[in-house]
Amino acid sequence: MLDTIAEKGYTSSTVADVIARAGVSRKTFYVHFENRAECALAAHALVTGQALRLVSAAYEDTAGGRAARAEAAIAALFAQAARDPGAVRLAVVDVGALGPPGIQAREESLRSFERFVSAALARSPEEGEVPDVVVTAVVGGIYRVLYRSLGAARGGVSRASLVPGLVAWATSYYPTPRSIVRAPAPAPRARREPADPGRAPGTLAPHRLLRDRRGLARGDQNVSRSFVVHNQRERILDAVANLVCSGGYAALTLEDVAVEAAVSLKAFYEHFADKEDAFLVAYEVGHAKLLASVERAFTAERDWRLAVRAGIVRLLEFLSEEPAFAHLAVVDALSATARAAERSRIGVNAFAEMLMPGLLDMPEGRQAPPVAIEAIAGGIFELCLEAALQGRIAELPALSVPAVYFALAPFIGRRAAAAVATSGA
């Protein structure tokens, strides 16, 4: 299974591919596994367990301080990725194609790495700590860079060359200032409820006229054809977002979309080729609105540090205000289709670009590795994903302080990052 995934990816692999490589009969395969997905999940558990053991052994067996041990642990992880590209592709990329069970398996593996990191920090002879939320973000960032290492290896960039920068980034959060560790989580911010809250949480329809009317009255001579087309399209996207949020992409049917949007199947096909097309457009519409909102908050500040804070605050606020889109973007996009997962990766990169000025405008004597930008973006995405999986999307704004600290510390230092993060609390 792992060799097949390394060559073709999970979505393009078949049981026939697996048994051909394994040299066993189809009957033997089904003695061990009910289907292809069960085999892939078993492979995922095997490789992530092995990776954790290798990382733990490297950390424990290395002499020296915290940084030396961290470098040995991360180097062991990347060395394993180089030896078995199928394992890393399954663990950090293709596991999402297994649907909700795959996403759950991914999260369980990350939580096991977080427990290892927290235990290692607790045994450190140095004083200090790192809050759990920052540990979660750091592990998510490492996963993100592992994801990128698949393409980097194909492009001639050694995975090993990423390790020093990743270590420098990951260790930049220790010890976390007490103002961040002890900061009480603010109460979840009340949802902004306009006079027209829409048909359902997360509606993508942009204004009242489109949201108040589930369908258009027959024979309404005062409505233009262009309005009808636009109205139908918005209702379909709204239906896709809400139905995927409530039941998942795999269970989504065009019949359900048509009923929810109050359109005919014929009308649906006038707008979209199939359900994947509608899903991708729903993602694009929501992502464009999110990015525009974050960019407005970012550009309103002249100081880059305050701009990053404003952008992150707005990012978390927007997602909390649009729970259906938030779930679609950070959970369902990972497992819906391969195209959706790739679009999600590109979407996260768009926000990472806002951190670029940090590399050019750092205090004298400080130097953050370029890999920090991608790792930070991955870490913040992981915080959003964890909240969505736990049904806590509405509480995302409460993560603003640690998220801002996490984004800024590698560039301006821990104390300065804590000051910026808490001054906006």
**106 and 212 part of one domain:** no
HSE (CB half, 13 Å, CA atoms) of 353?
9
Q: Looking at residue 153, what is its pLDDT?
A: 52
- Please provide the size of the chain in residues: 425
pLDDT tier at 201, thresholds 50, 70, 90:
very low
| 337 & 393 share domain | yes
Q: For residue 12, give its domain range.
A: 2-175
Whether 202 is covered by a domain: the verdict is no
**What is the reported pLDDT for 156?**
47
Q: Give yes or no: residues 289 and 416 share one domain.
A: yes
- Mean pLDDT for 275-288 is 95
Residue 391: inside a domain: yes
Q: Kindly state whether residues 236 and 308 are assigned to the same domain.
A: yes
Lowest mean pLDDT segment, chosen from 37-51, 287-301, 361-375? 361-375
Among 175, 200, 224, the domain boundary falls at: 175
Judgement on whether residues 287 and 167 belong to the same structural domain of the protein: no
**Is there a domain that residue 193 lies in?**
no
Structural domain contains residue 335: yes
198: in domain: no
Same domain flag for 168 and 216: no
> What percent of the chain is modeled with pLDDT above 90?
60
Within 10 angstroms of residue 30's Cβ, the number of other Cβ atoms is 13
**Residue 274 phi, psi (nearest 5):** -165, -175
Residue 40 has pLDDT above 70, yes or no: yes
**Residues 407 and 282 placed together within one structural domain of the fold:** yes
425 pLDDT above the threshold of 70: no
Domain count, the chain: 2
pLDDT for res 217 = 46
Q: What is the mean pLDDT of residues 185-193?
A: 45
The model's confidence at residue 137, banded by pLDDT at 50, 70 and 90, is very high
| Mean predicted lDDT score pLDDT of the chain | 86
- Interval 3-25: pLDDT, tens: 999 888 888 899 999 999 999 99
Residue 201 belongs to some domain of the structure: no
In terms of domains, do 156 and 249 share one? no
Q: Please compute the mean of the pLDDT values over residues 392-415 and round it to a whole number.
A: 95
Query: Is residue 181, in this structure, part of any structural domain at all?
Result: no
User: Cβ(408)–Cβ(134) under 8 Å?
Assistant: no
* Residue 135 belongs to domain with CATH number: 1.10.357.10
Are 171 and 212 contained in the same domain?
A: no
* Contact of 345 with 288, CB cutoff 8 Å: no
Evaluate the CA torsion angle 242, 245, 246, 252 in order and state its sign.
positive
Can you tell me the distance from the alpha carbon of 9 to that of 1, in angstroms, rounded to the nearest whole number?
10
Residue 184 within any structural domain of the chain: no
Residues 95 and 145 in one domain: yes
> Which pLDDT band holds residue 209 (cuts at 50, 70, 90)?
very low
129 plus 237 within the same structural domain:
no
- Give me the pLDDT at residue 150, please: 72
Q: Are 375 and 144 in contact (CB under 8 A)?
A: yes
Domain end position, chosen among 131, 155, 175: 175
Cβ-count burial 196-212 (b if 16+ within 10 Å, e if not): eebbbbbbbbeeeebbe
Domain boundary among 175, 199, 226: 175
pLDDT at position 215 over 60: no
Least confident of 96-110, 120-134, 147-161, 268-282: 147-161
Q: Quick: pLDDT tens for 322-371.
A: 999 999 999 899 888 889 988 998 999 889 888 888 877 766 667 788 89
Q: How far apart are CA 50 and CA 145, in angstroms?
A: 19
Query: Are 86 and 23 part of one and the same domain?
Result: yes
